DNA sequence: TAGATTGTTAATCGATTAACAATC
DNA sequence: TAGATTGTTAATCGATTAACAATC
């Protein structure tokens, strides 16, 4: 596979393109143009063209890209070769919402378990007691840990995940996690996102 | 109040500063320096200084910023003069998670109701049937609409919110909403956020 | 052929960082 | 005073957009 360098900002758009292709119901045409994608998604058309050139580079002037091929190429990049299994720690409302969120599969992520320290939340629907996390990580390939615990416990859960060889953390708590080199943290601060709406 | 121009990227950091100040338990000192904030939050120190200069401009060389004053200034900007009431449409797991998420109040947003078309979800805990939305919007000041319905219904719910004079939409569905001029949409694509983690 | 669309190079824009004088 | 820290101006960096030749 050709080695390509995808920027963070471009990477954020790839799932959007893929989903767009998956839900569009235009069976009439085998091709799709960057112009149409850009218009529908309200993105700059050069931007889209650049993204698609990066991942596909097989566009035909005048007609556009073969839809099926583009879709497969996006899936190839998103559903990367490594297994993308994720676990959630913190089976509160947010954790549960994420566990049953149905947009992750499309981009190659699968949430295979949730953990919580509250016995009331433990059932047999893939929610386990936190004490079983170590064992679970030994028996399963887990590449992403999603932290939805309250912020008092976020750092210690983060440490626990790292101790169990998880190198990618999706952090929904509002504190800054301290992690060693080689561990990637993506902070998801919902309040900060909402605050942007109050501008203007 | 002095007119200041806050960029989107800076606006996203303000809630982080405010939360940092709110949860830090260093009672010993009345002052906080941008250097310390930058280190703790893992941000560039010039970046923090610039943000703080923009909103406060009252830093004292050698000592830093008066913590209490900085906090009040952040609250002043975030809890803007207008009432920031929000409603949620779609009382599924994600909608419910957002309704009970406790980080919004800090930045001046209050979720005052959820709506759903499924009678099973209607209870008296601020979840109403969608048919009551029009009346609710007449009787309450609602500035933000949060869309957590499935994507087939997202556009029509968006239209409904706009028809009820809501000018700010926080869209959790994976489709691009069409809105008239003057309506601001912030898309929150969780799958796209997660995809970024798979880079490297 | 004419025209729509691709892919690329150069220009622009915005955000972050570097450098540094001012100051308590 | 000396040194840490502020605030600002200039430089850099990265992402988006404009311009345009190539092409089907």
**A 83-142: CB under 8 A from B:** 84, 86, 92-94, 96-98, 100-101, 103-104, 106-109
The rounded distance, in Å, linking the Cα atoms of B100 and A72 is 39
- In strand D, which positions have an atom below 7 A from any protein CB? 3-9, 14-19, 22-24
Q: What is the mean pLDDT of residues B128-141?
A: 97
Q: Does A4 touch chain B (CB under 8 A)?
A: no
Give the H/E segment covering residue A10.
helix A8-23
Q: Which residue has the tokens 């694509």?
A: B189
Q: Which residue has the tokens 């806050």?
A: B6
Cβ–Cβ under 8 Å, residues B141 and B158: no
Two tokens, residue B15: 């809630």
Strand partners, A46: none
Q: Is the pLDDT of residue B124 over 80?
A: no
Give the closest nucleotide to B45 (alpha carbon vs C1'): C17
Q: Is the pLDDT of residue B95 over 80?
A: yes
What is the structure's pLDDT at A66?
Answer: 94
Cβ–Cβ under 8 Å, residues B80 and B137: no
Angle, helices B45-55 vs B67-78, to 10°: value is 70
Other beta carbons within 10 angstroms of residue B128's beta carbon come to 19
Q: Look at chain A and count its residues.
A: 200
DSSP B128: E
CA of A61 to C1' of D23 (A): 6
Q: What is the mean pLDDT of residues B114-139?
A: 92
Nearest in space to A142 (alpha carbons), one of A121, A119, A120, A161: A161
CA atoms within 13 A on the CB side of B13: 19
- In this structure, the strands spanning B31-32 and A184-187 are unpaired
Q: Is the pLDDT of residue B1 over 60?
A: no
What is the structure's pLDDT at A29?
Answer: 85
Q: Is the pLDDT of residue B2 over 70?
A: no
Find which of A168, A199, A200 to mutate to test the B interface (most B CBs within 10 Å of its CB): A199
Q: Verify if strand D has an atom below 7 Å from the CB of B127.
A: no
The rounded distance, in Å, linking the Cα atoms of B142 and B63 is 42
What is the structure's pLDDT at A117?
Answer: 94
The size of the A-B interface in CB pairs under 8 A is 157
What is the structure's pLDDT at B58?
Answer: 86
**B 134-173: CB under 8 A from A:** 144, 151, 168, 170
What is the structure's pLDDT at B80?
Answer: 67
Who contacts B170 (Cβ-Cβ below 8 Å, separation ≥6)? Answer: A193, A194, A197, B86, B144, B145, B146, B147, B185, B186, B188
Cross-chain residue pair A199–B8, CB shorter than 8 Å: yes
Alpha-helix residue ranges (DSSP H) falling in A42-150: 45-55, 67-78, 93-99, 133-139
Give the H/E segment covering residue A121.
none
Nearest to B197 among A92, A144, A191 (CB): A144
pLDDT tens digits, B17-40: 999 999 987 767 899 999 999 999
The rounded distance, in Å, linking the Cα atoms of A194 and B86 is 10
The rounded distance, in Å, linking the Cα atoms of B170 and B123 is 24
Q: Is the pLDDT of residue B195 over 90?
A: yes
CA of B59 to C1' of C24 (A): 10
Q: Does B77 touch chain A (CB under 8 A)?
A: no
Q: Is the pLDDT of residue B81 over 80?
A: no
Please state the pTM of the whole predicted model.
Answer: 0.95
> How far does B93 lie from chain A, in Å, by closest CA?
5
Who contacts B169 (Cβ-Cβ below 8 Å, separation ≥6)? Answer: B144, B145, B146, B147, B158, B161, B162, B177, B179, B183, B184, B185, B186
Alpha-helix residue ranges (DSSP H) falling in B24-132: 34-41, 45-55, 67-78, 93-99
Long-range contacts of A38-41, Cβ-Cβ distance < 8 Å, separation of 24 or more: A40/B176, A41/A16, A41/A17, A41/B176
Q: Is the pLDDT of residue B107 over 80?
A: yes
Residue B193: burial class (beta carbons within 10 Å; 0-12, 13-18, 19+): middle
Find which of B190, B195, B199 to mutate to test the A interface (most A CBs within 10 Å of its CB): B195
Residue B80: burial class (beta carbons within 10 Å; 0-12, 13-18, 19+): middle
CA of B58 to C1' of C19 (A): 22
> How far does B3 lie from chain A, in Å, by closest CA?
12
CA of B65 to C1' of D1 (A): 24
Nearest to B15 among A84, A86, A192 (CB): A192
Two tokens, residue A121: 């939340």
Q: With beta carbons under 8 A apart, name residues in chain A contacting B191.
A: 15, 19, 103-104, 106-107, 109
Question: Among A3-17, B81-95, B150-164, which range has the highest average pLDDT?
Answer: B150-164
Q: Which residue has the tokens 């809501």?
A: B166
Q: Does A179 touch chain B (CB under 8 A)?
A: no
Dihedral, CA atoms, B171, B173, B174, B175, nearest 10 degrees? -70
What is the structure's pLDDT at A111?
Answer: 96
The rounded distance, in Å, linking the Cα atoms of B172 and B168 is 13
Which ranges of chain A have pLDDT less than 70? 1-3, 27, 80-82
Nearest in space to A134 (alpha carbons), one of A114, A116, A170, A161: A161
Two tokens, residue B25: 């338990």
Range with lowest mean pLDDT among A100-114, B69-83, B186-200: B69-83
In degrees and rounded to multiples of 5, residue B170 shows phi and psi of -110, 110
């Amino acid at each position: 596979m050709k080695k390509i360098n995808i920027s963070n900002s471009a990477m954020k758009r790839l799932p959007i393109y893929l989903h767009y292709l998956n839900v569009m119901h235009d069976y009439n045409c085998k091709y799709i143009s960057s112009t149409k994608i850009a218009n529908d998604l309200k993105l700059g058309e050069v931007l889209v063209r650049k993204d698609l050139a990066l991942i596909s580079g097989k566009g035909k002037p005048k007609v556009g890209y073969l839809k099926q091929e583009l879709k497969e190429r996006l899936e190839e990049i998103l559903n990367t070769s490594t297994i993308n299994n994720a676990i959630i720690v913190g089976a509160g409302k947010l954790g549960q919402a994420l566990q049953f969120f149905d947009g992750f599969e499309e981009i190659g992520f699968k949430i295979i378990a949730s953990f919580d320290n509250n016995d009331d939340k433990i059932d047999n629907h893939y929610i386990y007691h936190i004490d079983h996390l170590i064992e679970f990580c030994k028996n399963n390939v887990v590449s992403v840990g999603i932290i939805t615990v309250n912020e008092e416990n976020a750092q210690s859960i983060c440490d626990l995940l790292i101790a169990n060889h998880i190198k990618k953390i999706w952090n929904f708590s509002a504190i800054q996690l301290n992690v060693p080199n080689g561990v990637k943290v993506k902070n998801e601060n919902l309040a900060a996102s909402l605050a942007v709406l109050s501008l203007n």
